[in-house]
Each structure stands twice: as C-alpha cells, then as structure tokens.
C-alpha cells in the first residue's frame, strides 16, 4: 500500500473534504472511497464494500489515485473508523516484503487526454468510450482507459470490461452513453 495514498486519505480527512478517491492498482483492480465532510462513508473494491473493500485496497500494489472533490453518490455503508482504516493500511504496509511500489498520481489534464492508440478499437471508438466514461466517473476514466483499451479487440468487449470495473448505476449510464454515440 502506498504511503502517498495513505497521506492523501489523511489530508482529505483533516481538510474535511467531500469527494471520491478513485484508485487503480498495477494489476488492474479499481476501487473508490467516498468522503463526506472528511468522513469515509463508502468504499468499494472488487465487488466488496466497507471493511472488506478497505482490506483489499490495503493489498494493492503500484497504486494510482485521484481525488475528485465535489458531490458524491448517495451510497453509504457502515465503515470502520478512520483510525481502523489507517491501521489496516499501515499493517499491510509493514508486512509487505517488497519495497513500496512506485506511485503515479494522475492529473486533471491526463483525465481528458487522448487514450494511447492500440488494440483493434478505432480512435473514434476509444474517444467515445473515454468521453462517456469521464462523464460517468470523472478522473478515474483515464486510468481505466489506460488499463483496458489496449487489451480489448471489440467495442463490446471494451464496454463489458470497463462496465465491470465501475458501480452498477454508473455502468448502465456508461453502456447507454457509448451505444448512443457510436
């Protein structure tokens, strides 16, 4: 687990900020943690929520993350206290044998940048997927596009793969938006 991510979570708590931290790991796992006035109110990772999601996030390596300040979805779940979350993140970090992974923090410019060319998708298809995904989930769109678009061969595979990485309500909006624009 990244000390940069832990520091960012602590900063968000201390600043009493509202927004979502979007997280992606080097092995293509994604997660998100929602804050309301500095309090963690929701976490999701690999279909798990709350405490289980935090435990999975703590095990992520080569983490990239982005905090998007602003309104958050109404989703709430019973979360462990901030002290328990930071203890969990610290505990996994302490027991990891390898050196801490390199951390890459995305910028807002990267979130709207063109996806790198690759795979069998046309540049138009890639652009539509990225634009719709940015509308649905914000800055994490760039991370998901980087992770998946060069590994898929059809538009259907791209839509399904990315939709499986985001919350169900956003996935529906994403699917409909991409199909409408293509």
Q: For the chain, what percent of residues have pLDDT higher than 90?
A: 35
Taking the whole predicted model, whether its pTM rises above 0.75 is answered as no
- pLDDT tens-digit profile of 35-94? 999 999 999 988 889 999 999 999 988 888 888 888 888 878 889 888 888 888 877 554
CA proximity to 124, closest of 115, 111, 113, 135:
115
- pLDDT tens-digit profile of 142-179? 888 888 888 899 999 999 999 988 888 889 999 999 99
Q: Sketch the domain layout of the chain as residue ranges.
A: 3-104, 106-181
Reported as half-sphere exposure (CB side, CA atoms, 13 A), residue 177 has a value of 18
């Amino acid at each position: 687990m990244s000390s940069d991510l832990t520091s960012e979570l602590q900063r968000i708590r201390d600043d009493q900020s509202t927004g979502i931290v979007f997280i992606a790991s080097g092995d293509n796992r994604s997660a998100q943690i929602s804050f309301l006035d500095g309090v963690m109110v929701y976490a999701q990772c690999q279909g798990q929520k709350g405490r289980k999601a935090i435990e999975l996030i703590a095990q992520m390596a080569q983490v990239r993350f982005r905090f998007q300040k602003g309104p958050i979805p109404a989703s709430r779940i019973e979360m462990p206290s901030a002290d328990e979350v930071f203890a969990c993140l610290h505990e996994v970090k302490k027991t990891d044998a390898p050196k801490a992974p390199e951390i890459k923090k995305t910028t807002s410019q990267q979130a709207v940048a063109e996806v790198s060319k690759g795979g069998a998708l046309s540049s138009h298809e890639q652009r539509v997927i990225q634009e719709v995904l940015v509308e649905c989930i914000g800055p994490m769109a760039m991370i998901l596009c980087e992770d998946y678009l060069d590994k898929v061969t059809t538009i259907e595979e791209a839509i399904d793969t990315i939709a499986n990485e985001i919350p169900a309500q956003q996935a529906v909006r994403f699917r409909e938006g991409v199909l409408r624009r293509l």
